[in-house]
Homo-oligomer: A and B are copies of this chain.
Amino acid sequence: MYSIGIDIGGMSIKFGLVSGDGKILTKTVQKTPFNTADGVNAIISGIKELMQKADVKREEIKGIGIGCPGAVDSKEGIIDVLPNLGWESIAISKILKKEFDLPVKISNDANVATLAEVKYGSAKQYNTAVMFTLGTGVGGGIVIDGKLFEGGWSRGAELGHVTLYNDGIECTCGRRGCIERYVSATALIERTKTAMIGDKNSAMWDYVLGDIGKVDGRTAFECEKTGDKTAKEVVDAYVKDLGESIMNMLNIFRPEAFILGGGVSAQGKNLTDRLVKYCEKFEYGYHNSPVTKIITATLGNDAGIIGAAALIE
């Protein structure tokens, strides 16, 4: 038996036929439409295309799981709002059940990625893990005893919108000082640019060939290796803020593993070793704390499909 995992993103909607052990056997993709009606049609077409391409029958499929970049009501199977896509109030479970007569489960994309990493990826030897996805924003996911914890009304686990600096930088959520404003890839790029503007002699200028528009999440990490002091300051400040954010989560959940995903996590051990060193200074946030492993995600872009499929038990 297989499950279908669907990963709705800002550019494309990815569809995968996933085996019982979390392997993607066949993939298809649709361009993301930016209105509700076309969105629904793209999902239906994508599923049909996938089943055709994989040559599987409805009877061989256990169900359809969907990871959504926004707010969903997972209990009722309704996509409430995907702000960046302009999709709203889609009773997707009902629609797909009618079309395919299969069980449908939905969740937020960061939740789904976390579930994938715990079931099949970086944290598969653990039952309890918390994850930050460090991308455009900071997504959060929580898996307790192997089960996704989405919070009440499936509207918790917004870990990027826990504050790090009270009265800090204004956030898109309406509050100030959220974690997202300091440790997302976007924030790291902003920090890097600001530091470069303050130091015209930084090696980072050479690295981006004088074009500040070319700065990305790697710039400071790479230039630090060449001994650039300003780059090191950027990385140190970033590690401190990420370390503090992680320690806050450890004091709440004390998970077996803390997973970092998203673009910045490509730094791998270079990042996690420094985070471990920072957290050790504070006994991982609390007196004689048991040690949570800090690791990076391993499923990469496939986590969305695999995790969505993993919603189907």
Binding site for B on A (CB under 8 A): 71, 81, 83, 128, 140, 142, 144, 149, 151-153, 155-159, 161-166, 168, 173-175, 241, 244, 247-248, 250-256, 282-283, 285-290, 292
Contact = CB atoms under 8 A, between A and B. Distances in A.
Contacts of A256: 152
A282 B161 CA distance: 12
A155 B285 contact: no
Contact of A128 (B152, B159, B173, B286): B152
A162 B179 CA distance: 13
State the copy count for this chain: 2
A80 to B, nearest CB: 8
B162 A254 contact: no
Contacts of A164: 163, 166
Nearest to A240: B166
B282 A152 contact: no
A71 B287 contact: yes
Given A166-B241, A290-B152, A282 B252 contact: no
A195 B153 CA distance: 41
Contacts of A282: 174-175
9 contacts: A71-B287, A83-B287, A140-B252, A144-B149, A156-B252, A156-B253, A162-B162, A173-B287, A175-B244
B286 A155 contact: yes
Contacts of A173: 285-287
A173 B152 CA distance: 30
Listed from nearest, the 5 A-B pairs whose CB atoms lie closest are A156-B254, A151-B254, A152-B254, A158-B251, A153-B290
Contacts of A153: 254, 290
A142, A252, A255 — which one has the most chain B CB atoms within 10 A of its CB?
A252
A259 to B, nearest CB: 14
A151 B290 CA distance: 11
A109 to B, nearest CB: 16
Given A149-B144, A253-B151, A292-B152, A174 B248 contact: no
